[in-house]
């Protein structure tokens, strides 16, 4: 929930101007929902920058005032949607079951869910971080058919490293990403290699290159650093 309309539009313009530097790297931006329709028209059918929503409702339609369905997102050419972001889990009570329902709603409508998982600080201190992430991942993908496996993305966001200035070391990130890859392999076999696993804990222009060098870190879920075009393009160039 950052940037007014003028600020957000100016940021998008800067990213479009810099897009010739992105090469073959897939870039996805997730603006607030009220900007999605306009940004979709502005981006058109170019293949460099894709759109993601920050949230979706699990039902296809109905009396859910203020909510947005996957079909609505599809109708304005949104390709991706965040699901189960730590802030949605922490502040809006989203459960693993609800996240799983949203994943299915998106897949049924041709969108790719970016499934966010990760542990709180007390859970890591209690050595429960692997159990927490296992439950989140397994629940989210339980009903995903093998034919749909290459449509999902996983984003690992250690909650203790979001907005705190702390970042998991590259070794900690790789350890959890490798663990997530094992979970995906247990369900999807070799297709798990096609599922991107993104790192989302205070990824910034200074640490992106080291994080992205890890074998199971396939990209970043960038937070505050994405609000400044120069920092964001530096992160993209680090991949």
Catalytic residue among 94, 119, 157, 177: 157
State how far the Cα of 229 lies from the Cα of 20, in Å rounded to an integer: 14
Question: Could you tell me the CATH number of the domain that includes residue 197?
Answer: 3.20.20.70
Which of these is catalytic: 85, 87, 119, 177? 85
Would you state the torsion angle of the CA atoms of residues 120, 124, 126, 128, taken in this order, to the nearest 10 degrees?
A: 90
**Stretch 107-131: mean pLDDT:** 95
For residues 205 and 222, give the distance between their C-alpha atoms in angstroms, rounded to a whole number: 10
Is 101 designated active site?
A: no
157 close to 136: Cβ distance less than 8 angstroms: no
**Does residue 162 carry a pLDDT above 90?**
no
Q: Could you list the residue range(s) of the whole structural domain that residue 116 is in?
A: 5-237
19-23, 81-85, 88-92, 150-154: least confidently modelled range: 19-23
157 is catalytic: yes
pLDDT over 90, % of the chain = 87
Burial status of residue 206 (CB atoms within 10 A of its CB: 0-12, 13-18, 19 or more): middle
Q: How many structural domains is the chain composed of?
A: 1
Beta strand ranges found along the chain (DSSP E)? 27-29, 49-53, 80-83, 112-117, 153-156, 197-199, 219-220
Residue with tokens 């339609």: 61
**Lowest mean pLDDT, pick from 92-101, 107-116, 177-186, 199-208:** 199-208
Q: Taking the complete model, does pTM exceed 0.85, yes or no?
A: yes
Please provide the average confidence, as pLDDT, over all residues in the chain.
95
The string of pLDDT tens digits covering residues 187-215 is 999 999 999 999 998 888 999 999 999 99
């Amino acid at each position: 929930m950052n940037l007014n309309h003028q600020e957000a539009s100016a940021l998008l313009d800067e990213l479009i101007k810099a897009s010739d530097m992105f090469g073959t790297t897939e870039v996805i931006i997730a603006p607030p929902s009220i900007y999605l329709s306009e940004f979709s028209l502005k981006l058109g059918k170019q293949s460099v920058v894709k759109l993601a929503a920050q949230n979706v409702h699990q039902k296809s339609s109905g009396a859910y005032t203020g909510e947005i369905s996957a079909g609505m997102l599809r109708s304005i050419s949104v390709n991706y949607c965040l699901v189960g972001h730590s802030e949605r889990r922490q502040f809006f009570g989203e459960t693993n079951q609800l996240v799983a329902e949203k994943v299915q709603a998106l897949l049924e409508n041709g969108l790719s869910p970016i499934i966010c998982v990760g542990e709180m600080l007390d859970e890591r201190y209690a050595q429960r971080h692997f159990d927490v992430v296992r439950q989140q991942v397994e629940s989210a993908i339980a009903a995903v058919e093998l034919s749909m496996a290459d449509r999902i993305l996983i984003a690992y966001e250690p909650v203790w490293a979001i907005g705190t200035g702390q970042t998991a070391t590259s070794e900690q990130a790789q350890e959890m990403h490798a663990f997530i890859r094992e979970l995906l392999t247990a369900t999807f076999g070799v297709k798990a290699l096609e599922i991107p696993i993104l790192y989302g804990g205070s990824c910034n222009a200074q640490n992106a290159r080291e994080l992205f060098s890890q074998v199971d870190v396939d990209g970043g879920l960038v937070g505050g650093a994405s609000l400044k075009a120069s920092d964001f393009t530096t992160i993209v160039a680090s991949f």
